[in-house]
Amino acid sequence: MGLNLTLDHINVRTANVETMLAFYARVMDMKPGPRPHFGGAGGAWLYTEEKMGDSLDAVKADYRAAWVHFIEVGPTEPNHGNLQIEHFAFTATGMPIFLHRLKAENCSYDMVDMPDVGLVQVNFRDPDDNHIHVDFPLDEKPDQA
């Protein structure tokens, strides 16, 4: 019997928690919500609206609800030669709205068509330069993107 794996969450170290929270809220529709106390370590957990619990008890009932965890760290120099995670990805619908949000953020992106699986990837970078792609149904791709 094989494994039945699903993505639980991404843990991102950042010295820019507030900037990251604002970006993910504007572009990805993710909102901060309940987060366990980790001995005083700063950070935030982000949820999609339909998964966000109103309390830590609600989070315990569905532990996998938070998709992105930010852990606050001190400022560091980017080290692109030793990346630990090359990218993380989401699937979504609503590509025209998403592209509009990226443009409003002056966030450059590129698209990769994957017709053999009926998807188009929108690749971009968040304010900490993490590579993210969001996969949309190919039929949502605008004629002029």
Domain of residue 35, CATH code = 3.30.1900
Evaluate whether residue 35 is within a structural domain.
yes
Task: Work out the average pLDDT over 123-143.
Answer: 91
Shared-domain flag, residues 67 and 91 = no
For the whole model, what pTM was predicted?
0.73
Specify the pLDDT at position 41.
Answer: 75
Q: Let me know whether 65 and 100 are in one domain.
A: no
Which of 76, 95, 123 is where one domain is finished? 76
- Asked if residue 122 is part of any domain, the answer here is yes
Asked if 22 contacts 2 with a C-beta cutoff of 8 angstroms, the reply is no
| Distance between start and end Cα atoms, the chain | 43
Report whether pLDDT(63) > 60. Answer: no
Res 28 pLDDT > 80: yes
Asked whether residue 82 is domain-assigned, the answer is no
Owning domain of residue 57? 1-76
Instruction: Output the pLDDT for position 105.
Output: 96
* Higher-pLDDT residue of 67, 98: 98
For residues 41 and 65, membership in a common domain is answered with: yes
- Of the candidates 18, 109, 28, 94, the one whose C-alpha atom is nearest the C-alpha of residue 67 is 28
Domain count, the chain: 2
Query: Is it the case that residue 22 has pLDDT exceeding 60?
Result: yes
Looking at 76, 109, 136, which one is the last position of a domain?
Answer: 76
Q: How confident is the model at residue 33 (pLDDT cuts 50, 70, 90)?
A: confident
2 and 54 housed in the same domain? yes
Does the residue 137 lie in any domain?
Answer: yes
Whether residue 55 is predicted with pLDDT greater than 70 in this model: the reply is no
Question: Are 128 and 71 part of one and the same domain?
Answer: no
| Residue 64 confidence (pLDDT) above 50 | no
- 62 and 16 in a single domain? The answer is yes
Tell me if residue 109 falls in helix, strand or coil: strand
Asked whether residue 77 carries a pLDDT value surpassing 80, the answer given is no
* Separation of alpha carbons 98 and 134, rounded Å: 9
What would the mean pLDDT of 37-52 be, rounded to a whole number?
Answer: 75
Mean pLDDT of the 63-91 span:
68
User: CATH no. for residue 118?
Assistant: 3.10.180.10
